[in-house]
Structure 1
Amino acid sequence: MVTTSVFLLLMLVGVPIGLCLMLVSMVYILDSGNLLLFDSLPVQLFGGVDNYGLISIPLFVLIGEVMNGGGITRRIIDMTMAFIGSLRGGLAYVNLFANMFVSSILGSATAQVAIMAQMMVPEMEKKGYDKTFAAGLTAYGGMLGPIIPPSIMFVVYSVLAQVPVADMLMAGMVPGILLTAIFCVMIALMGFVYDYPKGEKQTIRVRAKIVLNALPTLLIPVIIVGSILAGIANPTEAAAVGVVAAFVVGRYWIGDLSYRDIPKMLLRSAVYSAVVLFLVAAAAVFSWVLVYGMVPQNVAAWVQTVASDPITFMLLVNVILLVIGTVIDGAPGLIMTVPILLPIATEVYGIDPIHFGVVVVINLVLGFLSPPVGLCFFVASAVTGAKPGKMFIVTLPFFFASCVLLVLLSIFPQLSTFFAG
């Protein structure tokens, strides 16, 4: 009871989640009276980040920095515009598909929204789209970042669940494609109802020129994902090669990347990566304390009185995680829920940990787009000036579509494990 009270108090006063987890773990040890546990605390803290797969996190972050600074994102948008920009609601499709391409390189929802909102929302507004809708759509496009490989959240989950990073990354491909397809259906229906404008149709010669200019940028996701799928490289090696590829394309093909920009890129990547890695380390301590306190076992006993089969359990998890995701961001949400729910999923209900991980990550990512936190909406708001609350209301069809996908993924695990293993 003391530990729970301290945890809630720390959360309410806004203590960073990593520090919150560490302090709560220490309070639990003090409350238990077994002070010898403090001797093991540094070992658990270091063990949390003693994983080769975690090296891929700063590398994936650096890819995003180089890609943005090197003008690669702009080329991807131009190429998408050349092919589907002439459809009704063409710029909305461009926004979504460009997000899909960018997510296959970036892997971070908030970074993706910040980049794409700067480029797409003013363009859509000039063509007659409502700014709130444009910003909201960009935020939902950012949802693809943590799902389509590479994904920082999948890397964190793979460490927490002790599953291969490569399998976890590949598991996001089918759900990411399905989510993009469902969003396209939503755009088509809304385009018909609201009479979204059509764009100018490009000639074949212009299209060919744009594709030729953008072709090297497409090599980056091909190198990253292709090398993992082919078994040529593990995710960490693929991320390192991806950094080199992004630098070569940005510096020598596009020419927008300057050597002077590199120190700032490295610093931003290091700061963001340090935050994520400290969360992972704190999660290791928190998980260790939970197991010692038999929290997963007690929760499992309660869950079995409510859920009698794997599908019922997964649907219950969806509801729980959607609620948690509305107030806690993605990586902290993973760190707080996976140590409790994963043992129940695998040991009690026999659910594949990779399948479970995909459902958990998508649930928590949807929390990026749900009040009261709605982090992606706040990022889009900071860039565009649109109001987060209005964004949520205007894009409710996309929220319900995401929930439909979660139900499908919960019932059909093959959708998550098709490319894994």
Structure 2
Amino acid sequence: MTPLIFAFKLLIAVPVALVLALTAIWYIWESGNTVLYDSFAQKMFAGLENYGLLAIPLFMLTGEMMNEGGMTRRLINAARVFVGGFRGGLAYINLLANMFMAAIIGSATAQIAVMARAMNPEMEKEGYDKGFAAATTAAGGLLAPVIPPSMMFVIYGVLAQIPIGEMFLAGVLPGILLAGSFAAVIFLVGLVTGFPKGEWFTRDEALSALLHCLPAALIPIAIVGGIVFGIATPTESAAIASLIAFLIGWLVYGELKPSAFIDMFRRTAVNSSMIIFMIAAANVFGWVIIYEALPQKLAALITSVTSDPLLFLLIVNLVLLFVGMVIDGIAAIILISPILLPIAMNDFNISPYQFGVVMCLNLTLGLLTPPVGVGLYIASSMSGVSAGRILKSLWPFLLAVTIILVLLSAFPWISNFLTE
């Protein structure tokens, strides 16, 4: 009965956090083990007693301060210095700026919203197809869950009980590979459609753009460098990054006004609390998973089909693709990790880092695929282009992600190289 209740609540669009908590309550009542009610609140709170979760609101706050402080615009200008003169230069600028932003924001939806406001009007003004401009921006958002720091990696690391810093390192090579595949898509589409010719900055303009960007570049350097060199934990790096963003936006660029703080803190609190509540609810949902022995039952079913790790990952990819189409990526990570990760590690000897990168990237595809497609509809509303028109231009990028997912599944060293 419990699985039916769980599925029914998901189908009628009950918020995932409530689905998890209410399913646990129903299961306790149905099983007759009502003594668990006494520790229900304690179990929820215990799910939040993890230092790594502090990184979530801190990374969100860093992104808010960057937007308000004018740093996003300066990073885009810096990207123009390196790729702006190529044919289709603005498309490459969009991609490179998305890489910069992915190393700061860590959230695909936030990144799509920010970059759509900044890049889509510029691309349309220079003659790019509106659908392609929106599709390029939306695809660039897929870099956020892979290039560190990634909010999904933080949540996965907490659930998998692995070092978040090493999880970040696992995403470096896949993130570069994914960005390279998107550049190849832009190049091939440009050959077919004929992009507008870009213009290089003059030497003085290039120097000016790079100099103005240097303070903003301290933020990704502080985040990634602090983690890679062991100077700071991911949470400490997030705190340092938010402090740097505040100081640069306020004192250096002069665009971050104290009057904007209340709205920034409110947005950060609302957005992060939804995620953290889901994690707390997932902790009590763990009772259902434990008492029903779901990982063990699923493992027995899958191992009866195959003993090949690659085939297992391909099956998981297919399942996750459908899950990501109907459930938000972060919610899906919280739901699925406790079930599939033990099977991957214990029955197929798959590294938790490889599995985490594959799962996070796959579930993020759901942001750009109907029927949920939150990222797709954000790109649509920001650009004024229909979701169908964006999808028409988006499919080459989605094909590139599919190829990268197969490579990540087939070659574990891509994810594990920097963690070993």
What's the TM-score bracket when you normalise by the shorter of the two chains?
over 0.9
Alpha-carbon distance in structure 2 between the residues aligned to 1:22 and 1:140 = 33
Inter-partner Cα distance in structure 2 for 1:418 and 1:65: 33
1:323 aligns with 2:322: yes
| CA distance in structure 1 between the aligned counterparts of 2:385 and 2:166, rounded to whole angstroms | 38
| Count of residue pairs the alignment pairs up | 420
TM-aligned CA deviation for residue 37 of structure 1: 2.4
> Contact 1:280/1:335 (CA < 8 Å) preserved in 2?
yes
Superposed counterparts of 1:14-163, under 5 Å: 14-163=13-162
Taking the aligned partners of 1:291 and 1:96, their CA distance within structure 2 comes to 43
Q: Which moved more, 1:2-11 or 1:176-185?
A: 2-11
CA-CA distance at 1:40 after TM superposition: 3.2
SS state at 2:407 partner:
helix
1:379 corresponding residue in structure 2: 378
Q: Is the 8 A contact 2:131 2:392 kept in 1?
A: no
Deviation at 1:416, TM superposition (A): 0.8
User: What does residue range 20-419 of structure 1 map to in structure 2 within 5 Å?
Assistant: 20-419=19-418
| Equivalent-residue separation in structure 2 for 1:418 and 1:76 (angstroms) | 29
CA distance in 1, matches of 2:257, 2:418: 38
Distance 2:286 2:387 in 1: 34
Residues 210-264 of structure 1: CA distance to partner in whole angstroms, max 9, x if unpaired? 1111111111100111011000100111111001111111111111111111111
Give structure 1 stretches of 5+ with no counterpart.
Answer: none
Deviation at 1:83, TM superposition (A): 2.3
The one-letter amino acid of 1:42's match is: A
- Contact residue 85 and residue 198 of structure 1 kept, 8 A: no
Q: Matches of 1:170 and 1:338 in 2, distance apart? A: 19
Q: Structure 2: 5+ residue runs without aligned partners?
A: none
Shift of 1:151: 0.8
Corresponding residue SS for 2:368: coil
Distance 2:240 2:335 in 1: 32
Name the amino acid aligned to 1:304: T
CA deviation map 1:302-323 (0-9, x unaligned)? 0111222111111111111011
CA offset digits 1:75-121 (Å, max 9, x no partner)? 00011112211111111101011000011000011111111001100
Query: Which whole-Å deviations, capped at 9, do the CAs of 1:16-49 have from their partners, x for residues lacking one?
Result: 1100111111111212222122233223211111
Give the distance between the partners of 2:27 and 2:259, measured in 1 at CA.
Answer: 48
Q: Given that residues 354 and 415 in structure 2 are in contact (C-alpha distance below 8 angstroms), is that contact kept between their aligned partners in structure 1? A: yes
Distance in 2 separating the partners of 1:414 and 1:43: 40
Amino acid in structure 2 at the alignment position of 1:241: I
Task: Give distance in 1, aligned partners of 2:403 and 2:415.
Answer: 15
Range moving further from structure 2, 383-392 or 399-408: 383-392
TM-score (norm 2): 0.98
Contact 1:369/1:377 (CA < 8 Å) preserved in 2?
A: yes
| Separation in 2, partners of 1:298, 1:277 | 29
Equivalent position amino acid for 1:401 in 2: A
Q: Which moved more, 1:356-365 or 1:4-13?
A: 4-13
1:116 match: secondary structure: helix
Moved more, 22-31 or 89-98: 22-31
Mapped contact 2:173–2:414 kept (Cα < 8 A): yes
Q: Deviations over 1:260-288 (max 9, x none)?
A: 11111111111111011001111111123
Moved more, 401-410 or 27-36: 27-36
Deviation string 1:122-161 (CA, Å, 9 cap, x unpaired) is 1100100111111111011011111111111100001111
